[in-house]
Amino acid sequence: MLKLSFATLLLLLNIISPAAANLKQQKKNVVRGNCGRRGCSALLKDLRTRYPDYISSFEKECPRSKIFAMEVGVNDRNARQVWFGCWDAKKDNRTRYGSYLGTLPLPGSEQKFLTPLPNSSPYTQELQQRYSEAIKKAQFKCATKSGSFNILPPEQNNSVQLQCYFQGGVVLIDESNDFKSDGEASKGAGVDEILGTFPVSTKN
């Protein structure tokens, strides 16, 4: 029987451990989808630097047993952005199912990316003037969910609530095996999230 000395075992562990860690890291960094000439891995690295909390959240929602994917495109406000999806590793017949994780802007499209406040609300101008930074943060967060805004009128204390509403639980389908959405198997359900409560004047 082959016997290994303690020193030899330590040497083998020092060789194997970094190799295993590198393999694990490589597996984590493989990203599918369509990100243009730059490639999804390079784009993900850039976005992780700019938006670490959002990228971390998207990755946590997509377990390693599934496939993390990105798709670059243009939204209805003509902002270039990237959509993040999580796909099943195995197809059901010819169809692969997945879920929508969120979206982030490409560099240079940050302003167009923001979800606009409704023009019809009498409180929009006041909110933008009095709470500029807080409103921009709320606009960004709502945009990451591809949401829209309602401004709920004051019931007490002359404060309005900024409500982002979006579709949750959408089931995506991929028929062409490119990890891009070809449609929706289920539209999910409407979800709303309050992104701030703001005191306003009574004149409205």
Distance CA 111, CA 77 (A): 10
pLDDT by residue (tens digit) across 52-73?
999 999 999 999 899 999 999 9
Q: Residue 37: phi, psi to the nearest 5?
A: -65, -30
pTM: 0.81
Report the alpha-carbon distance of residue 26 to residue 10 in Å, rounded: 24
Average pLDDT, integer, range 172-178: 90
User: Is residue 82 very low, low, confident or very high in pLDDT (cuts 50, 70, 90)?
Assistant: very high
Indicate the pLDDT class of residue 18, thresholds 50, 70 and 90.
very low
**pLDDT tens for each residue of 101-153:** 999 999 889 999 999 999 989 999 999 999 999 999 999 999 999 999 999 98
20 has pLDDT over 70: no
Report residue 34: phi and psi, to 5°.
-135, 105
Residue type, 155: E
User: How far apart are the C-alpha atoms of 101 and 1, rounded to whole Å?
Assistant: 53
Cβ-based neighbour number of residue 117 at 10 Å: 21
Contact indicator for 66, 88 with CB cutoff of 8 Å: yes
CB 146 within 8 A of CB 103: yes
Domain extents in the chain: 30-199
